[in-house]
């Protein structure tokens, strides 16, 4: 037997083989090797870090966090450990914690483009667009061919109103990594916000060609097809998304809406009365503006983003009889409903580039409102529906423009 093929004997060799197995996709074998490494040497910090990476891939986020914590307790000055834990916290929605870890990682090693890129992602989710822009700029300065940083910077520039700059960055990302499904998907999303349906379709087609399992690309391509009047194609794409991720109730609701429209707009059957809000199992996401069908579909897809770690439990309602409905009127119509919150997708939500959705308090102080971007709606719905947090905790954490983009560090 070749000496290099000898079975591992030490904690270090088990760790090395485990990490190699992880990179090859053998997660169970990798986990077994890392467990053995830790058994042989309980203070081997890198083994905890590598085991955490495996647990994260296996969706054991609590176990992954515990292992990252242990790795850092054993070797607190190692920048990659903080970078990895920060990314896990970002995925879990602990944005202040992620920001702290990314910042410490940068303090320990200031030449990591990935650390700046990831901190930029956290800052963008927290609504700190200038800070995010500075981080993506730095990531690109350190690594001019980092396609992900250009893609992420394009989103920030779009939010800041720099459409030309956003387009330039998106094109640069494609030039650097034309065979990346994620880059094509992001470019399609940008085209979608500009109502460039044909351009969006080209990029979503390519994203799906490169990664046939990219659920979000099917959702957004379906929205584009529906906007172009291709109901059959739209339903096929949304049904494919459901096939890939059967647990996405939001996609099921979008399919129902499209089918209803195709049949000429049949009346809702589960209604309290002819003028009332339909009875729903989850918090209602009520459409009150009908000027932009594609934007409505895009918002529905963004709320139920299947690539997100968490899911917003909402039921979409699209009925022209609610055109122009105000938050005050909604609280009156839902006065006898036990739900704590409802969401209104109004003209502002449809026309603003960030699509900020109106959140309406139904219980504590009925009629109070703030706005939330689609990617953070899950946080509002999840926490208010189980009374884990109060309405005011979110309302007090909005930006100067009244939009909640995540909790910022204090």
CA end-to-end span of the chain: 58
Residue 271 β-bridge partners: 278
Burial of 270 (0-12, 13-18, 19+ CB in 10 A): exposed
Determine what percent of the chain is predicted with pLDDT higher than 90. Answer: 48
Span 36-41, mean pLDDT?
96
CATH number at 268-404 = 3.40.50.800
Alpha carbons 148 and 182: distance in angstroms, whole number = 9
Query: In angstroms, rounded to a whole number, what is the distance separating the alpha carbons of residues 355 and 298?
Result: 9
Higher-confidence position of 144 and 228: 144
The predicted structure's pLDDT at residue 408: 59
**Which span out of 97-111, 211-225, 280-294, 394-408 was modeled with the highest average pLDDT?**
97-111
Question: Does 5 score more than 60 pLDDT?
Answer: no
Q: What is the pLDDT of residue 260?
A: 63
Q: How do residues 357-375 score in pLDDT, each as one tens digit?
A: 999 999 888 999 999 998 8
Task: Give 265's pLDDT tier (boundaries 50, 70, 90).
Answer: very low
Mean per-residue pLDDT over the chain, rounded:
86
Average pLDDT over residues 259-274: 47
Q: Is the pLDDT of residue 104 over 90?
A: yes
Residue 273 has pLDDT above 60, yes or no: no
pLDDT at position 305, please?
A: 65
The pTM score is 0.58
DSSP designation for 18: H
Q: Is the pLDDT of residue 194 over 80?
A: no
Taking residues 253-279, report their average pLDDT.
57
Per-residue pLDDT at 248: 65
Determine the pLDDT at residue 55.
94
- Single out the residue of 255, 261, 221, 216 nearest to residue 239, CA to CA: 255
**What distance in Å separates the CA atoms of residue 177 and residue 184, rounded to the nearest whole number?**
9
Banded model confidence at residue 250, pLDDT cuts 50, 70, 90: low
Please tell me the predicted confidence (pLDDT) of residue 106. Answer: 97
Q: Minimal CA–CA distance to 102: which of 83, 76, 77, 121?
A: 83
Flag whether pLDDT at 116 surpasses 50: yes
Among the residue ranges 180-194, 303-317, 329-343, the one predicted with the least confidence is 303-317
Whether 275 has a pLDDT exceeding 60, the answer reads: no
Say if residue 339's pLDDT is above 80. yes
Residue 266: pLDDT over 50: no
The domain ranges of the chain are 268-404
Position 382 pLDDT exceeds 60: yes
pLDDT at 249: 59
Calculate helix-pair angle for 147-159, 129-142, nearest 10 degrees: 160
Task: Quote the pLDDT of residue 360.
Answer: 96
Q: Which two tokens stand for residue 176?
A: 């650097």
* Residue 270 pLDDT greater than 70, yes or no: no
Residue 269 in this model has a pLDDT that exceeds 80: no
Give me the mean pLDDT over the 318-328 stretch.
Answer: 91
Task: Return the higher-pLDDT residue of 69 and 256.
Answer: 69
């Amino acid at each position: 037997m070749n000496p290099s093929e000898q079975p591992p004997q030490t904690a270090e060799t088990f760790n090395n083989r485990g990490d190699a197995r992880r990179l090859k996709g053998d997660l169970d074998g990798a986990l077994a090797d890392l467990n053995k490494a830790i058994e042989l040497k309980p203070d081997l910090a890198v083994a905890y870090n590598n085991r955490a990476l495996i647990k994260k891939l296996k969706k054991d986020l609590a176990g992954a966090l515990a292992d990252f914590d242990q790795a850092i307790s054993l070797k607190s000055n190692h920048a990659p450990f903080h970078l990895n834990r920060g990314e896990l916290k970002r995925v879990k929605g602990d944005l202040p914690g992620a920001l702290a870890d990314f910042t410490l990682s940068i303090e320990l090693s200031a030449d990591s483009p990935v650390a700046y890129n990831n901190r930029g992602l956290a800052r963008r989710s927290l609504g700190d667009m200038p800070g995010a822009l500075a981080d993506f700029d730095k990531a690109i300065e350190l690594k001019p061919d980092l396609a992900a940083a250009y893609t992420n910077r394009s989103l920030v520039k779009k939010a800041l109103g720099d459409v030309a700059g956003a387009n330039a960055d998106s094109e640069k990302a494609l030039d650097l990594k034309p065979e990346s499904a994620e880059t094509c998907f992001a470019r399609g999303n940008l085209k979608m916000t500009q109502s460039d349906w044909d351009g969006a379709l080209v990029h979503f087609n390519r994203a799906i060609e490169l990664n046939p399992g990219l659920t979000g690309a099917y959702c957004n391509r379906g929205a584009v097809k529906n906007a172009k009047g291709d109901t059959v194609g739209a339903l096929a794409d949304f049904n494919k998304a459901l096939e890939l991720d059967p647990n996405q109730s939001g996609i099921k609701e979008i399919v129902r809406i499209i089918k209803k429209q195709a049949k000429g707009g049949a009346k809702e059957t589960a209604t309290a009365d002819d003028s009332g809000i339909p009875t729903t199992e989850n918090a209602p996401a009520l459409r009150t503006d009908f000027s932009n069908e594609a934007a409505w579909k895009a918002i529905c897809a963004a709320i139920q983003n299947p690539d997100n770690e968490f899911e917003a439990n909402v039921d979409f309602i699209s009925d022209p009889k609610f055109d122009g409905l105000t938050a005050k009127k909604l609280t009156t119509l839902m006065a006898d409903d036990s739900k704590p919150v409802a969401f209104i997708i109004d003209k502002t939500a449809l026309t603003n580039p960030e699509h900020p959705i109106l959140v309406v308090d139904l219980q504590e102080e009925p009629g109070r409102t703030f706005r939330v971007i689609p990617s953070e709606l899950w946080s509002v719905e999840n926490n208010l529906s189980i009374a884990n947090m109060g309405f005011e905790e979110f309302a007090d954490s909005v930006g100067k423009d009244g939009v909640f983009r995540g909790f910022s560090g204090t």
